[in-house]
Amino acid sequence: MISADAIRGYVDLMVLSLLRTGPSYAYELAQRITAVTGADYAIKQTTLYSAVKRLEAGELVSSYAGVSPSGKPRTYYRITAAGASHLNLKIAEWRSTKSVVDRFIEGVES
């Protein structure tokens, strides 16, 4: 189980990467994150909500009002062009972060 603190900086990246495949709403995003992470990490609703709102404030995602199949009003989010390029930057940054940290971990483990 990953602690909420350890993963906090990467929730934005997770949300953006999910939105790249198409618009979605908060609960579906939470479901998809849970489906991927399984028992390793349980995202809290407030964590997800604040990530989405933060991204929206940074104009990396935009929102529009939609309606659920059962007729309930629902806010949908979609990734913007700025969001897509930000995601690419973040992915590159994550790769190099991971490789740097891995070099230390491997030294410890071997």
Partner 1 sequence: MNVVIAYLDTMFGAYPQTPRLLEAKAELRGMMEDAYTSLIAEGRSENEAVGQVIRDFGNLEELAPVLGITADLAPAGAATGADRANPAAARIQHPPVTMEEAQGYADVQRRCRFRLGTAVSLFVLSPVALIILPTAVQTGAIGLDQGVASALGILLLLVLVAVGVMLVMSISRDAAPFKRLEEGRFSPDPAVTRWAESLAQQHEPARVRALQIAVAFWILSPAPLIALSLLTQGAHLSGLWSVIGVGLVLGFVATGLAILLPAAWANGVAEKLGRGAAGAGRGSHHGDEQRSVVGVIAAFYWPLLTAIYLAWSFIGDAWGSSWIVWPVGAVLFGAIAAGGGALESYRRSRQ
Sites of contact with partner 1 (CB under 8 A):
26-27, 30-31, 42-50, 53-54, 57, 72-75
**Minimal distance, residue 109 CB to partner 1, in Å:** 32
d(CA 23, CA 85) in angstroms, rounded, equals 17
In this structure, what are the phi and psi dihedrals at residue 45, rounded to the nearest 5 degrees? -65, -35
Residues 6+ apart with CB under 8 A from 20: 79, 84, 87
Closer CB to partner 1, 54 or 84, in the complex:
54
Closer CB to partner 1, 67 or 91, in the complex:
67
**Minimal distance, residue 9 CB to partner 1, in Å:** 14
**Minimal distance, residue 66 CB to partner 1, in Å:** 11
Closer CB to partner 1, 6 or 100, in the complex:
6
Contact by Cβ (8 Å): 77, 25: yes
Two tokens, residue 102: 């891995």
